[in-house]
Structure 1
């Protein structure tokens, strides 16, 4: 039904789909604004309730006793990762997770999964590595995933506990190096290399990656002798459009450098209409794990060595996109990977 150019949802939508929409919406709000909401809750508890002393003890525990947990492998919780709510969010799009048929991981090694594109909120990566509903353990039962997210998340009350429970770790080099250096293998560090800056490129059908000057991940891989694994989420950029403009971009860049997040203005859908809103659109996203790229262990790699393996990674990532886009994208002949 369309009224004044707005496409409204039909009244007879099944309850299951309504729940899926609610799950996707709450996930979006939690991931985008959870830190701010947690901070407001803590301030409210201190200023207006009798639980102020418990809240202060909790904050003391965060900032003094437990402050380094996100730099030391995190604290995943299988119960939280198994919440059925994540399944409803998965089925809303739907989200799928696969690996190329010939991909195998050595149980005695750690791996660095490099995921693209970031999109607005790395929806495909969250499903694949942040919950038990994505099917990760089916493919890689011997490797625990650690999802790299902004270090600022782990100083925000309450939200940090959710981020840690979902398998999150801080985005510092120290944090990534810790996971890659865990002896005995069995760990995967999941990194969105393009980061928040790549969210600016989130438009339907657009696969423009921020990668050309991002080489720190290669240096960390070489330092630990950790294989680099290309991971692509096909359909990630189809979930939102966004407002654009030169003045808006300048303001966004200033805010991103200050808060670490890309303050984009998303155009998705609403609860009862499909034309605008901040809820992601129903569009399939398939996250695919590619073939690991073996790298030597070099304690102090030179710039030339880093450039060499970075170029090899870009080549393999581009090749994977060009080969697999025919399996996962509509009109694949019109889609190409752009590295900037």
Structure 2
């Protein structure tokens, strides 16, 4: 079976492409390269440059590569941008998904793996977030991911597709320096960026009801996340797989923002103290996954720790900073 990975030249998508290929799974990639980089992909993986909202292109790609399963990662994913441009987020994250599902159904694709997010939970008030924790997203990005899940499940029921939705928690790290995240949107590269410019890291709020007053999050190494995709894809490909599954992808361990910033200082050797600023709207005091269902259903558990995430991300940051000079 051949898997089409949309957004496969991006930070997470390229890790998935490498992991799938190394495991002997045939893949093809569709990416508009708005944030992807062809250099990230294994040399033998075919890349089609284009938009998942283009039905004619999708029809051709699905046929040309004899696609039997789709891993859909292509999406816009920046929360502040989603607040400023909600219609764009609904159009690109939900509208394009509808086009892709229609094309997949018409092509006879019967396996669909959807990249979702812990943002669907909003600000959960629980020690561990399970898949049964109520979903209450607090921004358009999270809303589009939840709507995407609804759409995937509905299309699966209508067209006989087996579907899986993976709810990622906080992704960090790199399997190799050249695959590192080059954007400055998540906390680890944001701290790197501040340190590189000679500025102190920022912590947004230190008066939360947590042990050190800063938000607690579940961080997952991107290589572990890619392996979760492989496990989910293989489960979907099994002859007796039917219906839908929704699974959290995290480590099940909380790390506070202050703990993470301290660890980054140890890894980089730049231990300058963080400055504390006001809380950001919508930040939950604690968001840590229960990863039990992933273990039972996918046979997958995370194996890499936070220090490994930070160290691998830092090596990638230095490589890309050097290349940019």
TM-score range, shorter chain: under 0.3
| TM-score normalised by L of structure 2 | 0.28
| TM-score normalised by L of structure 1 | 0.27
Bigger radius of gyration among the two: 1
Larger relative contact order, structure 1 or 2 (CA cutoff 8 Å, min sep 6): 1
